[in-house]
């Protein structure tokens, strides 16, 4: 399967991720005019609790469904797609339906949340946020119909922004923030259900398909629980130990960092179902994807380290205090592509034990470190705990990859990282305005990547073909060939990019 198709599909996912995160950023930008950080922290704690409970009862089905649906799609087995989807969907829906009802019936609080807040936790689980709704999303990403994921994400984000802000304007406070999440989830699931028509047909669940799904899911189940815990325990822990205000500022910093993390998680995560359907060339495809990911993520992360107060300052002066937290969180982005790429590769090969080991090594340190570090350092401790998981996972990859015959290409990766980091550090020392610093880092990094062969013309050609039609390429080439000739130190030719 062509890397171009993966790039095209991942771009849809990344566009949806960027749009969703951007709309979320705008939502919080407006929301902070109506509610304080404490209210945001309380709402984030509710969302975090819902995610933790959903993760605990997930059975790892999203990963198992991704593998089985990706394999069926690679074999063009439409019956298999329908059978695996129906089985995984009904299994997930049954589990989360039961969990939601039990939460409604609980007479006491949970995880420091009141009975009132717990009702919203149950509601978020029931409508599919972070639970059975993931199976719907997985169906389209596994079959590379990611334009549906983008549509669902963008529409839900827009309605959350419009209706959510209206509720906040009406003075609903905490309730308005939570309803923003509920609106987004309902719209997202509605889009997925509508677009399922014609793609899958309902099949009676079978024990055979359920067994296959569970076997494919179990290796990621414990790591997925730890991953969700590693992501949300910071917010919930800060909320319980220090209160809503610090939880709110940390949550905003984490959401900004998530925008950067979404690139490697999107492209390299999407490689998993594609690799599952490939018979050859998996390692080469993974290496190219990792290299391309670093070419994009390294300059962005470097700029985040140099100017962390820029996105935070737009939300208000109280959020600028989380600039150091944001810098710590961004350190993990320099490691995430390696671990994510290797994880997708070994999962596609069916090395389930290694998948489990990598997941545990990545997330267990986060869970263990959260409580003592949050108690000692607050939001800084939560950020350190979260990022530590990536570096523990890197150590595991360095040990395991040679045994799997996979070359990480560390020399190229270090080159891709060092160039924007040096430029960003120089911009910071010279106190360049962030606009000038951004222009310097992006332009010089692009030139250096081209001249050093980190990004080749073939890479650009395949990316361009994945995004644009031949007619569009022909139309823009006269305007881009001069730039390409500078980047690659070549004479003008009539060859398209």
User: What pLDDT is stored for residue 468 in this prediction?
Assistant: 62
Say whether pLDDT at 301 is over 90: yes
What torsion, rounded to 10 degrees, do the Cα atoms 274, 276, 281, 284 define? 70
The highest-confidence range among 244-248, 264-268, 436-440, by mean pLDDT, is 436-440
What is the C-alpha end-to-end distance of the chain, expressed in Å? 21
Please give the residue that has the higher pLDDT: either 437 or 491: 437
Position 56 confidence tier, pLDDT thresholds 50, 70, 90: confident
Looking up tokens 């079959």 gives 143
Mean pLDDT calculated for residue range 435-448? 93
Task: Decide: 146 and 12 in contact? Cβ < 8 Å.
Answer: yes
For residue 67, pLDDT beyond 60: yes
Q: How far apart are CA 338 and CA 39, in angstroms?
A: 37
Percent of the chain with pLDDT over 90: 14
Q: With a cut of 60, say whether residue 340 has pLDDT above it.
A: yes
**Of the candidates 345, 57, 60, which has an alpha carbon nearest to the alpha carbon of residue 216?**
60
Give the integer Cα–Cα distance in Å for 230 and 369. 10
Q: Please check whether residue 141 is in contact with residue 270, taking contact to mean a CB–CB distance below 8 angstroms.
A: yes
Query: How far, CA to CA in Å, does 318 sit from each of 44, 134, 361?
Result: 17, 34, 35
Model confidence pLDDT, tens digit, residues 304-322: 999 999 988 877 777 888 8
Q: pLDDT-based confidence at 342, cuts 50/70/90?
A: confident
Residue 497: predicted pLDDT: 45
3-class secondary-structure state, position 407: coil
Residue 431 tokens, joined: 């106190």
pLDDT value at residue 13 = 65
Instruction: Please classify residue 204 by burial: count the beta carbons closer than 10 Å to its beta carbon, then call 0-12 exposed, 13-18 middle and 19+ buried.
Output: exposed
pLDDT reading at 242 higher than 50 = yes
* Burial (CB count <10 Å: 0-12, 13-18, 19+), residue 1: middle
The yes-or-no verdict on residue 255 having pLDDT over 60 is: yes
3-state helix, strand, coil in the chain (%, to 5): 80, 0, 15
Tokens of 183: 């609106």
Give the pLDDT confidence score for residue 272 in this predicted structure. 47
Instruction: Check residue 364 and give its pLDDT.
Output: 87
pTM of this structure: 0.71
Confidence of residue 94 (pLDDT cuts 50, 70, 90): confident
pLDDT of residue 1: 47
User: Pick the residue with more confidence: 433 or 129?
Assistant: 433
pLDDT bin (cut points 50, 70, 90) of residue 494 is very low
More confident residue, 20 or 101: 101
How far apart are alpha carbons 284 and 59 in whole angstroms? 31
Please report the pLDDT score of residue 260 as a whole number: 83
Average pLDDT on 96-125 reads 74
| CA–CA separation, 323 and 328 (whole Å) | 9
Q: Is the pLDDT of residue 427 over 70?
A: yes
**What's the CA dihedral at 469, 470, 474, 475 to 10 degrees?**
-30
Reply yes or no on whether the pLDDT at 284 is more than 50: yes
Residues 6+ apart with CB under 8 A from 422: none
Which is more confident, 434 or 230?
434
Looking at per-residue pLDDT, the higher value among 491 and 360 belongs to 360
- Give the other-Cβ count within 10 Å of 432's Cβ: 18
Angle between helices 115-126 and 174-195 (to 10 degrees): 10
Is pLDDT of 394 > 70?
yes
Residue 230: closest CA among 332, 160, 161, 156:
332
For the stretch 397-408, pLDDT in tens is 999 988 888 888
Give backbone dihedrals phi and psi of 202, rounded to 5 degrees, phi first.
-70, 130
- Three-point CA angle 50, 53, 55, nearest 5°: 105
Task: Dump the DSSP string for 333-354.
Answer: GGTHHHHHHHHHHHHHTT-HHH
Question: Taking all residues of the chain, what is their mean pLDDT, rounded to a whole number?
Answer: 80
The pLDDT, as a whole number, for residue 326 is 94
**Are 407 and 287 in contact, with CB atoms under 8 Å apart?**
yes
89-98, 203-212, 303-312: range with highest mean pLDDT: 303-312
């Amino acid at each position: 399967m062509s890397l171009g198709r993966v790039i095209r599909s991942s771009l849809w996912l990344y566009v949806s991720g960027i749009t969703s995160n951007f709309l979320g950023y705008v939502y919080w930008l407006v929301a902070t005019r109506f509610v304080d950080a404490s209210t945001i922290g309380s709402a984030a704690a509710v969302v975090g609790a819902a995610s933790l409970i959903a993760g605990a009862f997930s059975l790892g089905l999203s990963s198992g469904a991704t593998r089985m649906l990706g394999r069926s799609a690679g074999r063009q087995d439409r019956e298999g797609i329908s059978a695996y989807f129906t089985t995984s969907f009904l299994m997930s829906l049954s589990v989360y339906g039961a969990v939601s009802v039990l939460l409604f019936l609980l007479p006491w609080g949970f995880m420091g949340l009141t009975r009132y807040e717990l009702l919203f936790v149950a509601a978020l689980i029931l409508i599919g946020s972070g639970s059975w709704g993931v199976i719907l999303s997985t169906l389209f990403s596994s079959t590379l119909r990611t334009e549906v994921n983008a549509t669902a994400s963008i529409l839900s984000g827009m309605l959350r922004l419009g209706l959510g802000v209206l509720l906040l304007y009406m003075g609903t406070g905490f309730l308005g923030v939570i309803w923003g999440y509920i609106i987004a989830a309902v719209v997202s699931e509605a889009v997925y259900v509508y677009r399922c028509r014609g793609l899958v047909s309902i099949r009676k669940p079978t024990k055979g398909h359920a067994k296959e799904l569970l076997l494919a899911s179990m290796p990621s189940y414990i790591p997925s629980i730890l991953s969700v815990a590693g992501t949300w325990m910071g917010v919930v822990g800060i909320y319980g130990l220090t209160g809503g205000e610090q939880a709110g500022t940390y949550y905003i910093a984490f959401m900004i960092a998530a925008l950067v993390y979404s690139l490697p998680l999107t492209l390299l995560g999407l490689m998993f179902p594609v690799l599952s359907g490939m018979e050859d060339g998996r390692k080469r495809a993974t290496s190219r994807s990792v290299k391309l990911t670093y070419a994009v993520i390294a300059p962005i992360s470097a700029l985040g380290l140099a100017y962390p107060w820029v996105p935070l300052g737009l939300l208000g002066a109280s959020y600028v205090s989380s600039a150091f937290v944001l810098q710590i969180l961004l350190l993990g982005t320099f490691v995430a592509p390696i671990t994510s790429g290797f994880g997708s590769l070994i999962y596609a090969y069916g090395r389930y034990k290694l998948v489990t080991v990598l997941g545990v090594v990545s997330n267990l340190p986060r869970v263990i470190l959260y409580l003592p570090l949050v108690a000692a350092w607050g939001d800084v401790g939560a950020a350190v705990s979260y990022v530590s998981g990536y570096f523990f996972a890197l150590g595991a990859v360095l040990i395991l990859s040679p045994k799997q015959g996979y070359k990480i290409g560390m020399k190229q990766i270090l080159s891709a990282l060092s160039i924007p980091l040096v430029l960003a550090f120089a911009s910071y020392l010279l106190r360049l305005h962030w606009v000038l610093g951004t222009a310097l880092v992006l332009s010089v990094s692009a030139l250096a990547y081209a001249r050093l062969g980190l990004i080749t013309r073939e890479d650009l050609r395949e990316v361009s073909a994945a995004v644009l039609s031949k007619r569009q390429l022909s139309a823009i080439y006269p305007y881009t060939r001069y730039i390409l000739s500078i980047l690659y130190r070549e004479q003008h030719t009539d060859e398209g990019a």
